[in-house]
Structure 1
Amino acid sequence: MTLLSRTEEMLLLMVCKLQDEAYGMQIRNEVKEVTGKLYSIGGIYVPLDRLVAKGFLKMEDVEASEDRMGRPRRRFTITAEGLSVLRETRQMELAMWDLPDTILKKMKLV
Structure 2
Amino acid sequence: MKELTLSEIIFLLAIWRLEDNAYGVTIRKQIAKVTWKTYTYGTLYSALDQLFKKGYVIKSAGPPTPERGGRSKIFYKLTQEGIKALKASRELQKTIWRGIPELTFAKV
TM-score, with length taken from structure 2 = 0.91
Q: In the aligned structure 1, how far is the partner of 2:93 from the partner of 2:6?
A: 11
Report deviation, 1:107: 5.9
Give a deviation string over 1:54-89, Cα, whole Å, max 9, x none. Answer: 110000111111011011100000000100010000
1:1-110 → structure 2 map (5 Å cutoff): 1-101=1-101, 104-105=102-103
Structure 1 residue ranges, 4+ long, deviating more than 3 angstroms after superposition: 104-108
Report deviation, 1:99: 2.9
Among all aligned residue pairs of Structure 1 and Structure 2, give the percentage whose two residues are the same amino acid: 30
Give a deviation string over 1:25-60, Cα, whole Å, max 9, x none. Answer: 100001111111111001211111101011100001
Which AA in structure 2 matches 1:53? K
RMSD of aligned alpha carbons? 1.4
- Unaligned stretches of 5+ in structure 2? none
TM-score, with length taken from structure 1 = 0.90
Report deviation, 1:105: 3.9
CA change 1:47–1:105 in 2 (3 A) is closer
* More helix, by proportion: 1
Q: In the aligned structure 1, how far is the partner of 2:103 from the partner of 2:61?
A: 49
